[in-house]
Structure formats: structure tokens, C-alpha cells
Amino acid sequence: MNINFTYIPGDGIGPEVGDAAMTVLEAMTAKFGHSLEAEFHLVGGAAIDAKGEPLPAETFDSCKRTGAILLGAVGGPKWDHLKGADRPELGSLLPLRKNLNLYANIRPCKPFPALIDKAPLKRERLEGTDFVVMRELTGGIYFGDKGRDESGAFDVCRYSESEVRRIAVKAFDLAMTRKKKVTSVDKSNVLETSRLWREVVIEVAKDYPEVEVEHLLVDAMTMHMLTYAQDYDVILTENMFGDILTDEASVLCGSMGVIPSASVSDGKTGMYEPIHGSAPDIAGQGKANPLAMILSAAWMLRLSFGLDKEAAAIECAVEAALEARQTTGDLGGKLNTSDVGDWIARNV
């Protein structure tokens, strides 16, 4: 198979972790007899510096054409003076999500055994944890009207029934391949959008009689995630709540540096990226942990190209690196970013 995708290193540590992921992908293609065709493009701060805009037309055209995007990280304090859509994040990530219809963000929470003791919770509260957060990504408060007037500032949160229905279907479909449980998170005691959310989820659930469904308010979920993590399978929620809950879930895995994410549409269009930021304070020093980026590349293989065996080979090599402490310093190892990529590439 020719694996044709758009590769966007981005800003800060993005190019470093991206290079490590590319090394692993090249080793995978050699092992399994595929060819690799990566279209390199700029986005975010790097694009602002080179092209004067955060999302150049040629970058978006490539993303739309290939339908598979591997992204490093975007943003940094260098561009903090910019406003609104001129900023790296608002001017690139949100338009990519919206214009490519990447409405479903998937983030896993399954702690690696080698990292459980690095998490802030006791081992017995984490062993057996294996859930996925399905976050609606193109609606809600982040995409609503916003501004300021004489009375203050405003951010409008709006959801349509169709937006809720399609993400709910994604969640229930995923649950059918896992433990057949969906936990829908809202704030229906206060918000009208959440009342619509709950109504639609209840309606969608009727088409999935095998799936257990529960509804939790978001404030309760923040507590239950830390005390009953093993109870969850697929957690379904709206954009802002999902943003917060997935960051909370990241600490259960012992490090944000090992968590990939996928933002997908219908079909096989998807954008794959680590959940960590651009970490400009360590950029260029070889300290950046590339595991989340490498695992994001594995997700790309699985979800956009249907290459389950190849993705699993990469994931097994990452787990082996963790067990052998062939990692960067943040995870107790002594390797630099590039060396970690080389080690995993040799062990795919």
C-alpha cells in the first residue's frame, strides 16, 4: 500500500517528535512492504513566520486531498501578541477541524503498566482502567459567536440536534466494539444545550439495546473519573467539557507524553496528534518525549488506512521501550528524542 498523508510538524517540539515518528513509520513500511509518501507542510506559528498566515492554502489543500494528517504541535509565546484568528491555534486548528468536518475527537485512557506508579492515584485505583473519551469537536462554545460590547464579553454555546446525533452514533458504534457501555456527560440541570444533548443521546440509545447507557453531570464526572476510573468504557461529551475531561484523564496515564488523539470525520478522513502542547521551553534540546506522536502515527495507520497489524507493531514497540526504560528523561530514561525514535524503529 502507498501510505500518502500530510505531515505537519508545527511549532516548538513538533518537528523533533515528528522526526522520531517519521523514523518509526519508515521502519514500519520497510518491514511490511508498504511505501510512504508524506507531503510536508507548514501550519501555525511556523506558517506565520514563513507565509504570513497560520493556515496556508497549500497546507489545507494537501490535508483535504490526502484525508490523513499527522500533526506535531501548534503555538508558543512568540505569537502570543497576535489576536483572534491571527493566532496559530485559532487560525489553524479550528479551521482544519471545521472545514474537514473532523467532528469526533477520540482520546484513550489506558495506563501502560510501566507508568502506573508515575500517576498520582494509587495503583489499585488505576489497574484495569481502559476507557475512551469521544468529544464533539466542531460545535459548542468554541465555535459560537463571540465578542465584546458595552455590557462585557460573550461566547455563545449552540448545538443542533444533528450535531449531537452524529457524535452519539460514533460513540455507540465504538462501544459496540468494546465493553458496550456509554457514559454521556452534560450539564442538563443548568444548560439548555445539555438538555438537548441528553434528549438526543437517549433517542440514539434506542438503536443500541446491547449498550448500557448512563448520564452524568460534568461536575460529578470530574470526581468519578478519579475515583471509579475502571468503571468507564466510552465517555461521550460536548466540546468544552471534553477538552477539560481529557486533560484530567491524561494524568491517570502517568504522563501526557504518551497519549495520542484522533480527530475524525465520516469515512477515513482524520487528523492525528499528541495531546501535549508545543513545549517551547525544551524545543531543540532533545528532551521532548516522542511517544505520543509515535502512537498518533499508529492511530493514523489503523483508522485512515486500515492497517491494524502495522499499528499494533508500533504500539508493542512503544510498550517495550517503556518496559526497558528506553525513553527520555521525563519517563526515567536517558535517551534523547531521536534515540527513542531509533530504538522503537529497530523494535517494530
Q: Parse the chain into domains and list their residue ranges.
A: 1-100+269-348, 103-256
From the list 243, 330, 339, 342, the catalytic residue is: 243
Contact partners, residue 299, CB within 8 Å, separation at least 6: 260, 261, 262, 270, 272, 311
Distance CA 267, CA 68 (A): 11
> Identical fold at 1-100+269-348 and 103-256?
yes
Catalytic residue among 187, 208, 233, 272: 187
CATH architecture of 1-100+269-348: 3-Layer(aba) Sandwich (3.40)
Helix (H, G, I), strand (E, B) or coil at 175: helix
Candidates 49, 219, 266, 281; catalytic one: 219
CA–CA gap between residue 244 and residue 309 (Å, rounded): 32
**Digitized pLDDT (tens) for each residue of the chain, 348 residues in all:** 999 999 999 999 999 999 999 999 999 999 999 999 999 999 999 999 999 999 999 999 999 999 999 999 999 999 999 988 899 988 999 899 999 999 999 999 999 999 999 999 999 999 999 999 999 999 999 999 999 999 999 999 999 999 999 999 999 999 999 999 999 999 999 999 999 999 999 999 999 999 999 999 999 999 999 999 999 999 999 999 999 999 999 999 988 899 999 999 988 899 999 999 999 999 999 999 999 999 999 999 999 999 999 999 999 999 999 999 999 999 999 999 999 999 999 999
Q: Does 281 qualify as catalytic in the annotation?
A: no
Cell of 284: 531543540
187 labelled catalytic: yes
In sequence order, what DSSP letters do the residues of 195-243 get, joined into one string? Answer: HHHHHHHHHHHTT-TTSEEEEEEHHHHHHHHHHSGGG-SEEEE-HHHHH
| Fold of the CATH domain 103-256 | Isopropylmalate Dehydrogenase (3.40.718)
Of 136, 207, 223, 140, residue with least CA distance to 175: 207
Does residue 247 carry a catalytic annotation?
A: yes
Q: Which of 142, 159, 208, 272 is catalytic?
A: 142
- Catalytic pick among 247, 266, 281, 308: 247
Residue 243 annotated in active site: yes
Report the distance separating Cα 92 and Cα 148, nearest Å: 23
The identity of residue 100, as a single letter, is: L
